[in-house]
Chains A and B, each alone.
Chain A
Amino acid sequence: MSETVTAPPPTGTISALAPKKRSRAARLLLGRDAIMIYALLVFVLYACISIPRFASPVTVGFLLLDVIPVLLIAMPMTLVIITGEIDLSVASIAGLTSALMGVLWQAGLDMPLVLAISVAAGVVAGAFNGFLIAVVGLPSLAVTIGTLALFRGLALVVIGDNAVANFPPDLTAFFTSKIGGTGIPTVMIGVLIVMVFFGVLLHFTPFGRGLYALGYSKEAARFVGIKVARSKFWLYVATGSVSALAGVYWTLRYSSARSDNASGLELAVIAAVLLGGVSIFGGKGSIPGVIAGVLLIGTINYALRLGRVSDVVLIIVTGTLLILSVVTPSIFASVRRWQHDRQVRNSLPQVTTSGSTRAEHPAH
């Protein structure tokens, strides 16, 4: 996209030199998202063939149950990273929610009330982040490193070193139940709603378009009338709320409320988001790509575990994959730039006799 911008096409000659004038369909099929989806499909195929017992509905169920927390939080995280910010406190918010749920349930409150208060706590935690970042104007990295520790600390204060496990069996069973014989967990319906919500918000609303602008340049975004502070504030409220939902899910899926629940999850989420093609510098990325990224990491983890590959190898694989996913596009970009330059250089002798076109080329 950026290359086409650098070559304003006043005449047919110049626009033909632009390396990427693809049709909409080609862009969809060859874009970063599509590559992630191909990678996912290829890996699923590979796992089906080479890993015994992978190809079964049981896999779908266990795999999705494993990735749901990451999948949930990755949705608002995508939006946050697209604006060029970050939220490292998500796992701690989930832990805090879990701790609160445990304590409130033990205190004898009704389940709906427990859930409402716990999710509300996540909203408040997110709003606190949002206030410091959007209103006070502090850098998000610093703020959320602080709240990463703060919220986890609060979770420890709330529940201490206890674990609450006596949640209603009907409810915990519901959280691990599957839809019929498909193996798809029932809670995926809720997750799907969250995915669609953030997908539509990012790709089909003016608010979402504004987030990309914000990621490219905050000043420019402000000049075109995007409410920078307000957008950021609501994004942090969104990460807080969805993290709370993930905390509720985590607690009921494992039927165990503890202060250390979901610890380290923030890095898994961010890794998956980046693998899904979102630029850490902001301005680039999409929800479908991120979903494919999350599922790819989840599938690799699950398949390797099923193949009894040690976790030591597993983290090396995930790390390498992440680095490759960041490095490969920039290699492609520089190869393309090199090809483009050569093309321009080769074409010069034929047209530069007049010297007029030469003046236009330095723009490349």
Chain B
Amino acid sequence: MELFHNHGTRSMRTRRILGVAALTASIALVATGCAGGGSDSGSTSGSGGGGDQTITFIPKQLNNPYTDVVLGGGEEGAKAAGFASSQVVGPLDASASSQVSFINAETQAGTNVIVIAANDPDAVCSSLEEARTGGAKIVAFDSDTNPDCRDVFISQVVAKDVALIQTKLISEQIGGSGEIAILSATANATNQNEWIKFMEEDLKANYPDIKLVATVYGDDDDTKSFQEAQGLLQAHPNLKGIISPTTVGIAATARYLSTSDYKGKVALTGLGLPNEMRPFVKDDTVKAFALWDPAQLGYVAAFAGKALADGTITGEVGDKFDAGDLGEKEVTDGGIVIVGPPTTFTKDNIDDYDF
């Protein structure tokens, strides 16, 4: 019996001692470790400001085919412009606030140029302000932030041109009259809503016989967009055309149409990636759609960032900077830099493009 007692108390005592030891050790280690780390970080951030400039791209979300092309151009541009390192970080979901912690991390990392496609023009503002206070230059691309929180905005095309080419394409395809619907990305996306606004105005002014019966949101999610397309056709039996000004939406809708009875009867146009849309153009589900070369967007954004970081431009109207292979670009009203006009893709020219 005595044996058991001894055994019990001994294990209890060793455990207690172990526990105290573990706690003291961990506290001591954290205290010393952090102190050491602190002095380290002081010295690196001090030297970082000198020669090597860094650039970080923050897209709306990762793993989006369109974004990947834009970022590919961005990385190429960053290399050509002479940045020491370029990074891509970003959230997995395109929600309003998800980008903020990435901006904060970049602020802390002392990045010189942050290139961002904002999920919400205002939600990212205060953290971008903080980054600017820390000395970073902010370039918005693809989807603008509140103009107060960035230095320049790189827009591929004038928003109105993007809208007008889509209304023109749908009108051509449905013969100028009938019901159409819009399948957009998220309900709050800055660029989407601007295009939709221009499309509504243009339809009212120039295409009185075309009636916009619904605007639905696929949240740039393939499955959701597919279901929304399905829902549109069920809810509106007289629907003659769909405009999807987003690459995810148009691909999902095309996939639905190509396997349904509506193939060839309901027209589809919008903004799509040639590589994703090629099979649907070849099988006549889609006659024509539009887009710009997204890689150029990232490319120009990188050069704009370089010019800002070097101090050669400040983002004032009329500032000009060299954008490598794409020649000289100028900052226009509202701090916007326009890259080029949209291209229309059809069966005849789609094989000339690879992105």
Contact = CB atoms under 8 A, between A and B. Distances in A.
A1 interface: no
Contact of A54 (B37, B63, B93, B96): B37
B20 interface: yes
A25 B89 CA distance: 45
Contacts of B193: 161
A62 B1 contact: no
B110 interface: yes
A201 interface: no
B126 A305 contact: no
B97 A256 contact: yes
A29 B89 contact: no
A13 B1 contact: yes
Instruction: Tell me if B's interface is mostly helix, strand, loop or mixed.
Output: helix
B36 A62 contact: no
B314 interface: no
A255 interface: yes
Category for how many chain A residues contact B: 35 or more
Given A21-B8, A23-B16, A260 B188 contact: yes
Interface string A6-34: 00000011001100011101100110001
B34 to A, nearest CB: 4
B121 interface: yes
Which residue of A48, A250, A261, A306 has the most chain B CB atoms within 10 A of its CB atom?
Answer: A48
Contact of A41 (B30, B105, B121): B30
Contact of B34 (A29, A44, A347): A44
Interface in A304-345: 305-306, 308, 310-312, 315
Interface stretch (B21-29, B156-164, B225-233, B254-262): B21-29
Interface residues of B, number: 59
B101 A45 contact: no
A306 B91 contact: no
Given A62-B101, A66-B101, A256-B123, A308 B19 contact: no
B123 A255 contact: yes
Contacts of A163: 96, 120-122, 188
Contacts of A106: none
A253 to B, nearest CB: 8
Interface of B: 1, 4-5, 7-8, 12, 15-16, 18-20, 22-23, 26-27, 29-30, 33-38, 40-41, 44-45, 62-63, 87, 89-93, 95-97, 100-102, 104-105, 107-110, 120-123, 125-126, 146, 186-188, 193, 217
